[in-house]
Amino acid sequence: MYWNEKIECMSREDMTALQNERLAAQVKHVYDNVPYYRDLMDKKGVKPEDIKTIDDLHKLPFISKADLRDAYPYGMLAVPLKDCVRIHSTSGTTGKRVVAFYTQDDLDLWEDCVARALTAAGATSDDVVQVCYGYGLFTGGAGLDGGSHKVGCLTLPMSSGNTERQIQFMRDLGATILCCTPSYAAYIGETLHEMGLSPADIKLKAGIFGAEPWTNEMRRQIEELLGIKAYDIYGLTETSGPGVAFECPEQSGMHINEDNFIPEIIDPDTGEVLPEGSKGELVFTSITKKAFPLLRYRTRDICVLSKGKCSCGRTLIKMTKPMGRSDDMMIIRGINVFPSQIEAVLISSGYTPNYQIVVDRVNNTDTFDVLLERPAEALDYEIPKREKALASALKTMLGITPKVHLVAPKSIARSEGKAVRVIDKRKLHD
């Protein structure tokens, strides 16, 4: 039920008191040990003594990905290198990667957060957890693996790829919980059915899926394909990895591990802190990590926070599924479009989550194409009608009409990690 009931169900007053104490100590730790951040604070005229409670948080400067690139590789390190036992790194393909450092205590804290997520999804030491997130520099494999060990589950460290072998192990070893990206879960589900199997042939009961945006429509499809309950999990390399927030059986947003990470929502343009319930950019301050403790880190993820009561009994604040990063948002002919809006329309119209969005600029006008696979049973003469119906459903959602192309089944590449949904060719011309 709970991994740490005391923390997960703590009263708001007790949580605030804990956060106040940890925040003040963390700001001092960072000011004393990270010259890069000390300079930012000095420029803003803020001293550690000015930060006594979480109400003072807004006085601190933000950290952005650009700061992390500037400070690469050791500039944000807050402990001697000899105290670090691990690094992980972002999957970013452009510019310098972000490298995050961990002490042994940091790893324990992180694994503890992931253990909460697994327990919320029903894991106990009786479970067999198949981890198909990538292992290596990416935090997905190591994070879920560490959490699974903490809970005492039998852990299958599969990493991603070789999907038929994944299914064979799943059957032979009776895996009960699957951990991977939602796009890979859909691929595993599709392959299971292609192998002539059904959920009755496997023992899976739950899946813990994250690392990329996915809609509730996609959740229902994965749940059906695999016969499981699908839980969301959120995190980023800069804050440790998966486990910053996790879903409970209510499946209505993710509880943030607030004893470790204080969330704020800001206006991405002005930096102004927005009240609870507003949509904006998520910012995290990590108050327990020692090696790589980021204060007011701008995630660029867009979501909403809510403190409402949850039927699971947890009092930890909830964040909605991020609808994508602010930098994932496409501006097409002046209109803001998120891939997740497109996904919701395609899946609720009965298609599989295999799609690609292609944007280009021809003669100074944006072109907008959505490719998805035609169902095997669709007859040739139906295709234009289907494409028109989808284009009109997308127009209703987005306010802009794409050209829809129903392509041959299996012609869109499947993802074993984070899916690439958007090809924005305009960037190539810049």
Binders of ligand DLL: how many residues, by CB under 6 A? 23
Q: 404: how many CB neighbours lie within 10 A of its CB? A: 23
Choose between 24 and 312: whose C-beta lies nearer to ligand DLL: 312
- Check binding of 140 to ligand DLL (CB under 6 A): yes
CB 156 within 8 A of CB 128: yes
Q: Candidates 105-113, 192-200, 204-212, 393-401 — which segment interacts with ligand DLL by CB under 6 A?
A: 204-212
- Check binding of 419 to ligand DLL (CB under 6 A): no
- Check binding of 263 to ligand DLL (CB under 6 A): no
| Residue (of 91, 37, 15, 6) closest to 261 by Cα position | 15
Contacting ligand DLL (CB under 6 A), which of 34, 142, 167, 233? 233
81: burial class by Cβ within 10 Å (0-12, 13-18, 19+)? exposed
Q: Candidates 25-33, 149-157, 318-326, 391-399 — which segment interacts with ligand DLL by CB under 6 A?
A: 318-326
Nearest approach, Cβ of residue 91 and ligand DLL (Å): 5
Q: In the range 240-259, which residues lie near ligand DLL by CB under 6 A? A: 241-242
- Check binding of 64 to ligand DLL (CB under 6 A): no
Residue in the structure block whose two tokens are 């940091």:
106
Contacting ligand DLL (CB under 6 A), which of 234, 246, 261, 351? 234
Antiparallel, parallel or unpaired: β 355-362 and 318-319: unpaired
Q: Which helix (H) or strand (E) holds 208?
A: strand 206-210
- b/e string for 235-272 if b means 16 or more Cβ within 10 A? bbbbbbbbbbbbbbeeebbbbbbbbbbbbbbbebeeee
| Residue (of 232, 250, 116) closest to 179 by Cα position | 232
Whole-angstrom Cα distance, residue 149 to residue 195?
31
- Check binding of 343 to ligand DLL (CB under 6 A): no
Choose between 210 and 353: whose C-beta lies nearer to ligand DLL: 210
Nearest approach, Cβ of residue 319 and ligand DLL (Å): 9
Q: Which helix (H) or strand (E) holds 30?
A: helix 12-33
Choose between 48 and 182: whose C-beta lies nearer to ligand DLL: 182
Choose between 211 and 248: whose C-beta lies nearer to ligand DLL: 211
Q: Candidates 53-61, 106-114, 137-145, 257-265 — which segment interacts with ligand DLL by CB under 6 A?
A: 137-145
- Check binding of 325 to ligand DLL (CB under 6 A): yes
Contacting ligand DLL (CB under 6 A), which of 22, 321, 374, 386? 321
Whole-angstrom Cα distance, residue 202 to residue 358?
37
- Check binding of 280 to ligand DLL (CB under 6 A): no
Structure tokens at 240: 């440790």
- Sign for the pseudo-dihedral over CA of 417, 418, 421, 424: negative
- Check binding of 212 to ligand DLL (CB under 6 A): yes
Contacting ligand DLL (CB under 6 A), which of 48, 189, 213, 417? 213
Whole-angstrom Cα distance, residue 254 to residue 76?
28
- Check binding of 210 to ligand DLL (CB under 6 A): yes
204: burial class by Cβ within 10 Å (0-12, 13-18, 19+)? buried
- Check binding of 322 to ligand DLL (CB under 6 A): yes
- Check binding of 211 to ligand DLL (CB under 6 A): yes
Binding residues for ligand DLL, rule: CB under 6 A, are 90-91, 133, 139-140, 143, 210-213, 232-237, 241-242, 299, 301, 321-322, 325
